Amino acid sequence: MKILLVDDSETSLMLLETILHGAGYHDLVRTNAATEALEFLHLAKKESPETQPPIDLILMDIVMPGLNGIEATRAIKNDPQLRDVPIIMVTVKDEEDSLERAFEAGAIDYINKPVSKIELRARVGSVLKLKQEMDQRKARERQLENLTRRLHELSNLDGLTNVANRRSFEDTYGREWRRSKREKKPLSVMMIDIDFFKRYNDTYGHLEGDTCLKQVAQAIQSSIRRPGDFIARYGGEEFVVILPDTSPTGAVTIAEAIRNNVGALHIEHSASDVSDVVTVSIGIAGHTPDDSIDSKTLLSSSDQALYQAKSMGRDRINIHTPGSCSF
């Protein structure tokens, strides 16, 4: 446990060191002024928090020339990285106003000069034990926060393909619809289906089918570049892509990249009627959200566009608009 000693009296510092060494505390840092202590803690230089040395306890004299112990305590407690470091005031003054201001500044305890060996050991031991318990509790809280965050991430991922699952899609789609409506920007949705996937499973087995799904998911993921673009597994062999601030025409460019990337996988599919490798059909619908339609209608339109693409022979892209067209 590292302890910082702050006192302008060399005699007081030597006495503190002697008592603490005798109690088994050997990692001591001594400073002869409050400004020197702040420099050691890197507060005076305003350096990054990562460079601040770890300190477990500070013994601070109240009356010192220049910056006094109360002002130094306040500066330390105002720093987010140091506010939890306990500070014990060491002073010959036990007037209520000085001690009250010290506690208001953030001190946790005090001890009077001349320092009593028994009292100093007891107070330091008690405060360090409390500090250790607090550190352990915070560590457990951080672990719990990390675990909760990880569980939340996992609950939003499809376990097989490692892209977002349907629940995550529905949450994201709702947010993007509202944002696009608020900002009056276009929103496009793509429904993607692996052609003749049931036949693929029947021919190559479900293990190969799972591998195929993973590869196609990654091919789709690699085709969308912007941070706001979003892919999810919608169910079975279907995937859905959200493209904010994208018109249906712009979505076609991304859909073509998806078809090309899936084809470039060269996954053998001898049972397909359209190719000897795995292909996908894609339905696109786009709209600038307003009161004329709701989000379900746009999603339904992309699903209808996919259905039409499959009806027209698969391995193609179809846009569901008043002037519907295929590519």
Neighbouring C-beta atoms of residue 16, cutoff 10 Å? 25
Task: Please state, in angstroms and rounded to a whole number, the distance separating the CA atoms of residues 19 and 14.
Answer: 9
Cα–Cα distance measured from residue 139 to residue 125, given in angstroms and rounded to the nearest whole number: 21
Place of tokens 């949450």: 171
The first and second tokens of residue 136, run together, are: 């352990």
Instruction: Give the sign of the dihedral formed by CA 181, CA 184, CA 185, CA 188.
Output: positive
Rounded Cα–Cα distance for residues 209 and 160 (Å): 11
List the beta bridge partners of residue 194: 280
Pairing of strands 28-31, 238-244: unpaired
Please check whether residue 230 is in contact with residue 249, taking contact to mean a CB–CB distance below 8 angstroms: no
Token code pair at residue 81: 């990285």
Euclidean distance between CA atoms 62 and 105, whole angstroms: 12
Q: What DSSP character marks residue 205?
A: -
Distances (CA, A) of 250 to 126, 127, 128, 323: 67, 64, 62, 16
Residues carrying an active site annotation: 237
Residue 238 bridge partners (DSSP)? 193, 235
